[in-house]
Structure 1
Amino acid sequence: MIRVLITDDHAIVRDGLRQIVGETDDITVAAQASTAAETLDRLRENIVDVVVLDLNLPDRHGLDLLLQLRSAYPRLPVLILSVNREAAYAIRLLKAGAAGYIGKDGAREQLVEGIRAVVKGEKYIAPPLAASVAMHLVEDGSGSRHEQLSDREFQVLLQIAAGKPPRQIAADLNVSVKTIGAHRAHILQKMGLRNNAEIVHYVVTNKLM
């Protein structure tokens, strides 16, 4: 039996995912969480085979949690569940260590297929997005400006766009305010942006949140 931990901040979504999984004979929901902190607690309390992770959590961004999970539980596959259908965004998360990526509007079959695939050590991208990802990978050019950022810089980019002040971002990422300032400076330089307003505009325009 495949044991799943579902992390999503909406109870109705978790209930829906549990119902989908409940219709199978080989998958069960072993635990649920609504925040990054709860996810870490559930992993200490339960043995699971895969984490189904929504990125928009109230306490930390899912990318930050993904990186921590990959470090603390390197053999535990993480299947991303996201409303974002941008190929570049999916690629960023796969490079960060996600085992698979599924859109929240995807068919229930994709969730079941994805769970089964990543538990076997395979990568899984939902079919509607797979073609876009493949096309993005073979296209010439430097790609989107945010692809130049490191994973940590990308995290800070999203946190700034969410309107969080430097002290809160520093606390969320467990670094100093000075470090956040340095990351912000690198982001502006690499992306050719001038201020936080332009960061917000870029993130919204490129549907990164």
Structure 2
Amino acid sequence: MYRIILTVMFLLLTACGQDLNFKVHFADIGGLKAGASVLADSQPVGEVTGIEGDAGKGYLVGVSIDRQHQAVATEDSQFVLADLPNDASQKCIEIVQSRPGGKPIVEGATVEGSYPTPLGNFPFGELFKEIGRAMKDFTGQVERYRKEFEKLPDSEEGKRLQQDWRKLLDELTKAQSSAESTLRKDVVPKLQEELDVLRKKLEELQKEPKKPGKPLET
């Protein structure tokens, strides 16, 4: 009985200490080789263990993530085929987490890979959140000071301060209107135009027949 308990404990400890192995599907691997690095925040967290064809649908890339770094591999993560930092002649897989946490990828699973985009992994969401927080804070300050200025004594100095306050509010209103007009008339149309060009190029690229894959390197 004692021997059985020890055996079970050994198996559990061994299982807990295993690296995480799963596959990433890519339509094209662009020179990626077995043994290539898997990175997260430009730091090695694992490696490519093998590459196999996927019945004419691309490639299945086997990866192994070190057990101490498995938290970066979740269902919310992106697995981007990228150039190795400081050596563009070599390829790697970069794990990008869209948010911390998330449901871990299970052993033996297959996930979809992705490719770098012209905007990279630009944090639009965080940018807009930060702008929103800044505007909320500024609006709060304006409202707080508005109430204070309403309480100013009826004196010459108080009247001058109220006049300066009204001028500031007028400038803020004009600045807001000008910014909205610039965004609506200049910035947004320009961005839309560039987005349409990228969309057309993407559609043309997707229509091109796929070239036969190169012999696999393992």
Q: Quickly name the TM-score band, shorter chain normalised.
A: under 0.3
TM-score calculated relative to the size of structure 1: 0.26
TM-score calculated relative to the size of structure 2: 0.25
Larger helix proportion of the pair: 1
Structure with the bigger RCO (C-alpha within 8 Å, sep 6+) is 2
Which of the pair has more CA radius of gyration?
2
